[in-house]
């Protein structure tokens, strides 16, 4: 087993959320990782569009973006090396079988249980299309005033 760095794209969405009827909001930021820049940009556009429809959310477009990054990952030279490392019997997916993988089934099941972020007014966990939004990633307490 070797260690390698793989390229990912990190979507950062900086937003300021205000309680209903308030003119002051609290900044929060969350990040998601994507394997392709196109997927990242689609998610960014969908999230910005969704947030712009809300009366209680301001998105900071200057700090919201898709940026390339790298993630460290284990790399195995063969299926046998994976099985030895994890003392398990793994199988390589065949073409067309990826939709029925355990993670895909779990993802689809969880997706069906969640309400859309529009319905929950951005309270996580929620979903945007086929994307599951988990908790926010920042503890920032800076506030913005809506003009």
Of 82 and 104, the structure prediction assigns the larger pLDDT to: 82
How long is the chain?
A: 147
Phi and psi at residue 146, in whole multiples of 5°? Answer: -75, 125
Nearest to 116 by CA among 101, 97, 129: 129
Helix%, strand%, coil% for the chain, nearest 5 = 25, 35, 40
| Assigned token pair, 22 | 């308030």
Cα 78 to chain centroid, rounded: 30
Supply the DSSP string of 4-19, one letter for each residue. EEEEEEEEEEEEEE--
pLDDT in tens, 109-142: 888 888 887 888 777 778 777 777 766 555 544 4
Tokens describing residue 144: 């913005």
pLDDT at res. 127: 79
pTM of the model: 0.49
């Amino acid at each position: 087993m070797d260690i390698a760095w793989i390229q990912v794209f990190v979507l950062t969405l900086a937003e300021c959320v205000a309680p209903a009827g308030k003119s002051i909001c609290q900044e929060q930021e969350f990040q998601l990782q994507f394997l392709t820049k196109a997927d990242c940009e689609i998610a960014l556009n969908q999230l910005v569009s969704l947030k712009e429809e809300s009366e209680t959310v301001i998105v900071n477009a200057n700090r919201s973006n898709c940026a390339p990054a790298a993630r460290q990952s284990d790399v195995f030279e063969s299926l046998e090396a994976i099985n030895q490392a994890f003392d398990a019997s793994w199988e390589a997916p065949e073409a067309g079988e990826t939709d029925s993988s355990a993670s895909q089934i779990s993802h689809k099941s969880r997706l069906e249980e969640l309400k859309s972020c529009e319905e929950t007014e951005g309270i996580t966990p929620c979903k945007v299309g086929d994307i599951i939004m988990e908790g926010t990633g920042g503890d920032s307490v800076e506030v913005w005033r809506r003009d």
